[in-house]
Amino acid sequence: MVILGRWDGKPVALSVKPNSLTISIDEPAKADVFSYDLEGRLWTAMLDGVSYRRGLDGRMVAKWREQGDVRQRRWLAQDEALAIEERARRTVDAFYTALAAGEVEMNRPLPQHGEAAFENIAAFDRARSTRDAARYFEVYKPVGILPPDQYMAVVLQLTEGCSFNTCTFCDFYRDRPFRIKPPDEFRQHAHEVHDFLGRGLSLRRTIFLGDANSLVTPMKLLLPLLDIVHETYDVEALGGMYAFLDGFSGDKKRPRDYAALRERGMERAYVGMESGSEPLLRFLKKPGRPADMVNAVRAMKKGGVAVGVIALLGAGGQQYSDAHISGTVEALNAMPLDMDDIIYFSDLVVGDDIQYARDAAQAGLSPLSAEERIAQQQAIERQLTFSGARGTPHISRYDIREFIY
């Protein structure tokens, strides 16, 4: 439901949904916009032309565009993030107070669930936000990364860490050993996540089984754990289950295994292929070969599970670029991808403290510029071929620097 009105001489638009509340104040080109889940958590905000997004852990990222349409981003310090939350809360609370006093002109009355949403927002003050963020760290180990289409998922950490944890470009899981949660612990975790999200669960769209490689779990252990998910959540209503699976481990499951996962609500598995060049994979210390990933994707598709394939742009620098392009094209074209699947191109992000930076320096690699990485993606895309009968996969960019859960 959209409600239009005026407050303090400015146009106001309220979007009152069963899972969220959004309020826009002022003309669209210069409006302040605030979106909340039904627990009262700030989800996104637009203030003074800057976009903010709050994670469940209380972190907040600010994004804006400078002259020349260059996108900038900055992670806020905790006090800054809490100040943005409080500024938004006070503005929304002032609006609701004025509405209750009859000082706001609206074209229709606010429904009862809208009133409840405003009251929850008013109660979600600085102290409540701080407690909520602390509770996140009692429920979760930090969520390292998700595919972009899963940023609004309910994350359930069926496993912790990464089963091989050797890739030189990734440091998301260096702080924890890989382990599969036993049923009783996972059941408790699933209930704790449900309680933590509270009324905010309605804003979540899917279920993502973390961490980095949860589908490596042997079937005799995995199927009972998926049954626990169904005990706690309405999987179908949420949109099914999703997870990461590395292509090397994925080759160990057969089509009938994926069919069994599909019967339990597994919609898509995401494979970090990174490259179709075997020498480059060895340089990255990525287990397996391109053929392993192709076979894993074929098995998933035969079992009815869609896939998301992730390729790195810029990996290996100038020296590996030609082989990276040709090998990635060959691997992707060997996969039976269709309209249910996604190809993500993700820029290699190199920090001074990760192993890739040290290996690249020792090997004398020349990094690709932003323009050259774009050209690399375009070169790959131009050579991709798909079956017209099955449709074409969605192709998108994947910027890990913007991830927030």
- Give pTM, 2 decimals: 0.94
Residue 309, φ and ψ in degrees, nearest 5: -110, 130
Paired tokens of 99: 């509405």
Q: In this structure, are residues 404 and 55 in contact, taking their beta carbons and an 8 Å threshold?
A: yes
Can you give the pLDDT of all 405 residues of the chain as single tens digits?
999 999 999 999 999 999 999 999 999 999 999 999 999 999 999 999 999 999 999 999 999 988 767 788 999 999 999 999 999 999 999 999 999 999 999 999 999 999 999 999 999 999 999 999 999 999 999 999 999 999 999 999 999 998 888 899 988 888 889 999 999 999 999 999 999 999 999 999 999 999 989 999 999 999 999 999 999 999 999 999 999 998 777 778 999 999 999 999 999 999 999 999 999 999 999 988 999 999 999 999 999 999 999 999 999 999 999 999 999 999 999 999 999 999 999 999 988 789 999 999 999 999 999 999 999 999 999 999 998 788 999 999 989 988 999
Inter-CA distances, 396 with 12, 172, 307, 309, 345, Å: 34, 22, 14, 11, 6
Domain with residue 348: its CATH number is: 3.20.20.70
Q: Point out the domain boundary residue: 80, 101, 131.
A: 131
pLDDT of residue 247: 77
Same domain, 124 and 209: no
The Cα–Cα gap between 55 and 375 comes to: 33
Same domain, 175 and 270: yes
Domain count, the chain: 2
Q: In this structure, are residues 30 and 15 in contact, taking their beta carbons and an 8 Å threshold?
A: no
Inter-CA distances, 148 with 235, 284, 391, Å: 20, 23, 22
Same domain, 295 and 257: yes
The Cα–Cα gap between 352 and 350 comes to: 7
Same domain, 117 and 205: no
Same domain, 80 and 194: no
Q: Point out the domain boundary residue: 131, 151, 167.
A: 131
The Cα–Cα gap between 366 and 343 comes to: 26
pLDDT of residue 229: 98
Same domain, 220 and 243: yes
Same domain, 124 and 151: no
Same domain, 54 and 154: no
Q: Among 287, 290, 363, which Cα is nearest to 324's?
A: 290
pLDDT of residue 71: 82
Same domain, 254 and 315: yes
Same domain, 160 and 18: no
Same domain, 180 and 207: yes
135 by Cβ neighbours in 10 Å (0-12 / 13-18 / 19+) ranks as: middle
Other beta carbons less than 10 A from residue 54's beta carbon: 25
User: Which 3-state string (H, E, C) describes the chain?
Assistant: CEEEEEECCEEEEEEEECCEEEEEECCHHHCEEEEEECCCCEEEEEECCEEEEECCCCCEEEEEEECCCEEEEEECCHHHHHHHHHHHHHHHHHHHHHHHCCCCEECCCCCHHHHHHHHHHHHCCHHHHHHHHHHHHHHCCCCCCCCHHHCCCEEEECEECCCCCCCCCCCCCCCCCCEECCHHHHHHHHHHHHHHHHHHHHHCCCEEEECCCHHHCCHHHHHHHHHHHHHHCCHHHHCCEEEECCHHHHCCCCHHHHHHHHHCCEEEEEEEEECCCHHHHHHCCCCCCHHHHHHHHHHHHHCCCEEEEEEEECCCHHHHHHHHHHHHHHHHHHCCCCCCCEEEEEECCCCCCCHHHHHHHHHCCCCCCHHHHHHHHHHHHHCCCCCCCCCCCEEEEECHHHCCC
Same domain, 87 and 230: no
pLDDT of residue 402: 86
- Domain containing 73 equals 2-131
pLDDT of residue 171: 87
pLDDT of residue 68: 67
The Cα–Cα gap between 123 and 322 comes to: 57
Q: Point out the domain boundary residue: 131, 158, 179.
A: 131
Q: Among 312, 291, 277, which Cα is nearest to 169's?
A: 312
